[in-house]
Structure 1
Amino acid sequence: MFKAQHIDHVEVLVSDLPRSAKWYEEVLGLKPMGKWDPEPWMIGAGTSKLALFKAELPRTDAGSEAHWHRVAWHTDAAGFQGAQQHLKALGIAFRGPVDHGVSDSIYFNDPDGNPLEITFYKR
């Protein structure tokens, strides 16, 4: 049976990766935790991470229209296999597993279309 352990990361669409990473470090004390080429840039504290993705965002009076993109739940290898079986048994379609090198993920949506991910790190 699958059971989520904790939120692994929340994906955030930003207009400028270096500027956003610096802002989160200065304002919230989040530290670099890894980079893919060219993205995402992972920043965080403890086991909580933000995955910064570059996006062309429309501008408003308040700034760019950046927003959260996806919530990813962390599990271990056994939980990752169990999650796939669990989703299949519930009739919930998912994409993956997707091999990200250091991690594997599956992607699916809640009933309102909100994107979710289940991920585990290979090391």
Structure 2
Amino acid sequence: MSTPELKVQQIHHVAYRCNDAKETVEWYKKNLNMDYTLAFAENHVPSTHEPDPYMHIFLDAGNGNVLAFFELPTKPEMGRDENTPIWVQHLALKVADRDTLVAYKEHLEANGVEVLGVTDHSVFHSIYFFDPNGHRIELAYDDPGAADMARKAAAVKEEMLEEWSKTKRAPRHAAWLHEKELTEV
């Protein structure tokens, strides 16, 4: 028998906690047009066997990507790591192009969701907003010139990591990515 190649194929699912499973499903369906695909509910955690009722919901994020949530009614209220800035932890979802991104921005704002952006990251362009659970979500599309820019940035990634590791200061190797002013639509 041959040894299998140790290589991850893709993300199976990403799981977050939610305040209310039904509200979360409805919000993602209404605002991001995600399909609700599956739910599990147990009174005991399968991996640890501890008694703890939960509802585990799954949403289709496209191309085999799954976004999941746990509602945990017996646990203390949700919080976040106060030592991590709110802009750091986020889930970025890809959209087709700028027209789609702008249409999502308008759709979200029409539904009362506060949206930041469009932000120009050179390689891609994004909008940012929060779901009803306080999770930061980013929608992004790749810039038409992204492949060339990504190759240019990838060529200096090792040098950048090494310099960062030594100095903990931003290396300038790919500073061109954010030297343009950030743009708002």
Classify the TM-score, shorter chain. Answer: 0.3 to 0.5
Normalization by structure 2: what TM-score?
0.31
Normalization by structure 1: what TM-score?
0.44
Bigger RCO of structures 1 and 2 (CA < 8 A, at least 6 apart): 1
Structure whose residues are more often helix by fraction: 2
